[in-house]
Amino acid sequence: MRVPGDKSISHRSLILGAMAVGETRISGLLEGEDVLRTAAAMAALGAQVERTGEGAWQVHGRGVGGWAEPETVLDFGNSGTGVRLAMGAVATTPITCTFVGDASLSRRPMGRVLDPLRLFGTEAMGREGGRLPITLRGARNPGPVTYASPVASAQVKSAILLAGLAAPGRTTVIEREATRDHTERMLRAFGATVTTESHEDGIAVSVTGDAELKAAAIAVPADPSSAAFPLAAALLAAESAVTVTGVLMNPTRAGLYQTLQEMGADLTIANARDEGGEPVADLTARSSALKGIEVPPERAPSMIDEYPILAAIAAIAEGRTVMRGLKELRVKESDRIAAMARGLAACGVKVTELEDGLIVEGRGPGGVPGGATIATEMDHRIAMSFLCLGLGAQREITVDDSAFIATSFPGFSDLMTGLGAGLVRTNR
C-alpha cells in the first residue's frame, strides 16, 4: 500500500512554487485539509494554483517579493506548519495580511516565529501571547538576520529562511540540534544558495538573499508520519504484515523506525533509493513481541510527530518505555503529552506524565484492557493513535471525534478498513 504524500514537503512545494518564477509541477501532493488551506492562501497572495489530477498540481509563481496583498484574511484552519511558513514567506514583502485559524490553531503560540521575523523590520499584531488572529505588515527595507533559535523547531527555522530570501545579504539560523531539513533541500532545488555549517553553538543554516527562485518539478514522497499508523497496526494486531511503499526516510524524520527496531520490531527497510532529492524506501512491519526501552531524548526532533503512536505501541510492549525531550508536544494541535497520558490511563495502562515526556508501563501483547472513549481534543494524531491501539486491546476503543484526521491523512478510515481493521462509526 501507499499512504498520502508527506505533509511537510507538500506545504513547502506550494509555498516555494508560489515564490518562484515560472511553472512548478507537483506530483503526489497530500490533498488533506491542512495542505489545501496553504494552496488557497498562495492563490490569495496572487499565485496561480491549479489542480490537474489526483495529487497533481501546477503553481505559477510570483517571484520572491512579488506577493499581491490579499483581499481577505488567510485562513489556515488547523495547520500550524502552513501558517508559520506563510508568515515567513510574506514577512519581507511590503504588504499587509491577516492570518486566522480554527479554535485549535488559535490556541497555539506564534510568538516563536513572530519574534525573529520582527528582526527583519516586520510588524505583527495579534492576541495576547502572540496568538491568532494576527495581522502582519511586511518589512519595506528588510536587512539580513542572524538568529539563535531557543527552540528546536523546523517551522521557526523555515520561516526565517523564507523571509531571508527577500532580504539582502546572508540570513542565518543557529540551531542547538538539527531539525527537519526539507526547506533547505527544496530551496536548493529551486536555485537558492543555502549552506549548513558547524557552529560553536550547534548548526548554522544560511540562505543568501535577493534570491531568484526558478520553478522546479517536485515529487512528494509518502509521509513517514502517516506511514507510522498502518505499520503500527501490523505490529499491534496478531498475525499481520503491512508493506508501505515509497516512504520518506530523511534522517531528520526517521527516528521512529530506529526506535521500533530497538524495541524488537520485525521491521524491514528495503529498496532504498533517492527520489527528488530525498531518500525513500519500502517498509514492511510484521506482528512482533516488543520490549520497552528508554528513547534517547536527542532523538526527539527526528520523530516528534510520532510520539503519540509510539506511546500506543509502548502500551503493548513488555516493560517500561521512557520518552523524554518532548516539551514541543505541549504546543501541538493539543497538549499531546497530557492527551496521551489521559487516554492510556483510561484504557487501563499505567502511565506517568512528565513535564517533557511520558513513562508507559507496557502490558504486553493483548494486555491492554481498552473499553474507553478517548477525548481527542481536535487532534488528528491522538485520534489515529488510539484507533490503532484498539486493534491490540481486549475491548474496543472509541474516539470522540475523527473529523480532524482528514487534515493530514485523508482516506485513513477506508485504508485501514481495507487492511482489515474493524473501524466502525458510532453516534456515541
Query: Which residues are the active-site residues?
Result: 305
Which residues 6+ apart lie within 8 Å of 425 measured at CB? none
> Which of 220, 308, 310 is CA-nearest to residue 265?
310
* 61 φ/ψ angles, rounded to the nearest 5 degrees: -80, 170
Cα 228 to Cα 166: distance, rounded to the nearest angstrom: 37
Q: Return the C-alpha cell found at 423.
A: 473501524
Across 15-122, the runs of DSSP E, i.e. the strands, are 23-27, 48-53, 56-60, 74-75, 96-100
| Interatomic CA distance for residues 421 and 416, integer angstroms | 5
CA 107 to chain centre: 17
For 57, phi then psi, to 5°, come to -140, 150
Q: Quote the radius of gyration of the chain (alpha carbons, Å).
A: 21
Distance (Å, whole) CA 420 – CA 391:
10
CB atoms within 10 A of CB 105: 24
Alpha-helix runs per DSSP H in 91-208: 111-118, 154-164, 182-189
- What are the two backbone dihedrals, phi and then psi, of residue 339, each rounded to the nearest 5 degrees? -65, -40
